[in-house]
């Protein structure tokens, strides 16, 4: 997953799992919680946004009731934290747009008085078309979707639901010629498996579902650059 984090500086990001997952033409808001662990007041400005935001998607940064478009208002986005303050009124509004896509981006905040002191907010988004759902297959022990997107060049995902808590299920990925590439246990506390395929060589792979060490089904995954 893509967590929020801060460096070794004196301001920490306390929020976790900043993910925007939803259908086309919807908007979601997530709260970013910050803590100034120092005994001094700290003021930060948004230096830049790194990563990939689709041309159809838009993000706004809100401080209290005031929202900013970082593409137009970068210089206006500043936050000040009193000594020891926990800030809870910083938000990200994400417009899912009109195009199916996935990606991630991060916001780099820098101390106004010391540019070497900074923190980074990382975010991930996954925009889906409600009229184009992935096929799901109902097995005795679990429900499992096809992998998507397929072909993939960065992130591939499987959605699943284990029907019994003690079921041992895993996904094994092999190369076209059968060499093991990766293996993932399906966590009963979750309902999706996200696979980073950006380090895979382009080509055809096969992923296999095993339940209690029994081979249930094998399907094809195509990785492209």
Q: Of the given ranges (14-18, 42-46, 214-218), which has the lowest mean pLDDT?
A: 14-18
Provide the mean pLDDT of the chain: 89
What sign does the CA torsion over 64, 69, 73, 74 have?
positive
Whole-prediction pTM? 0.56
Indicate whether 138 pLDDT > 90.
no
Average pLDDT over residues 5-34: 82
Average pLDDT over residues 201-213: 94
Instruction: Quote the percentage of the chain above a pLDDT of 70.
Output: 93
Indicate whether 190 pLDDT > 70.
yes
Average pLDDT over residues 80-89: 96
pLDDT band for position 131 (cuts 50, 70, 90):
low
CATH 1.10.10.10 fits 134-223, yes or no: no
Instruction: Quote the percentage of the chain above a pLDDT of 90.
Output: 65
Q: How far apart, in whole angstroms, are the C-alpha atoms of residue 193 and residue 184?
A: 8
pLDDT of residue 8: 47
Average pLDDT over residues 154-160: 90
Q: How far is CA 150 from CA 62, 155, 175, 220, 222, in A?
A: 35, 10, 15, 9, 6
Indicate whether 64 pLDDT > 70.
yes
Do 134-223 and 11-130 fall under one CATH topology? yes
What sign does the CA torsion over 135, 181, 178, 208 have?
negative
pLDDT of residue 3: 40
pLDDT of residue 218: 93
Can you point out the beta strands (E) in the chain?
A: 5-6, 11-13, 19-23, 27-36, 42-51, 58-63, 66-68, 78-81, 86-95, 101-111, 118-128, 136-138, 142-145, 155-162, 169-175, 180-185, 192-196, 203-211, 214-223
Average pLDDT over residues 181-194: 93
Indicate whether 1 pLDDT > 80.
no
- Which CATH architecture describes the domain 11-130? Sandwich (2.60)
* Domain spans, the chain: 11-130, 134-223
């Amino acid at each position: 997953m893509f967590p929020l984090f801060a460096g070794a500086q004196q301001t920490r990001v306390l929020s976790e799992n900043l993910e925007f997952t939803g259908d086309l033409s919807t908007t979601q808001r997530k709260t970013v919680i910050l803590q100034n662990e120092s005994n001094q007041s700290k003021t930060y400005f948004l230096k830049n946004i790194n990563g990939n935001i689709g041309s159809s998607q838009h993000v706004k940064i809100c401080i209290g009731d005031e929202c900013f478009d970082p593409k137009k208002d970068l210089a206006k986005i500043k936050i000040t934290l009193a000594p020891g303050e926990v800030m809870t009124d910083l938000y990200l509004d994400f417009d899912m747009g009109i195009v199916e896509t996935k990606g991630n981006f991060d916001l780099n905040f820098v101390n106004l008085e010391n540019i070497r002191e900074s923190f980074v907010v990382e975010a991930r988004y996954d925009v889906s078309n409600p009229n184009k759902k992935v096929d799901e297959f109902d097995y005795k022990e679990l429900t499992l979707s096809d992998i998507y997107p397929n072909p993939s060049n960065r992130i591939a995902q499987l959605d699943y639901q284990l029907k019994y808590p003690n079921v041992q299920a895993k996904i094994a990925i092999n190369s076209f010629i059968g060499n093991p590439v990766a293996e993932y246990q399906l966590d009963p506390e979750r309902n999706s498996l996200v696979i980073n395929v950006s380090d895979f060589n382009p080509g055809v792979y096969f992923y296999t579902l095993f339940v209690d060490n029994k081979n249930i089904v094998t399907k094809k995954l195509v990785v492209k650059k």
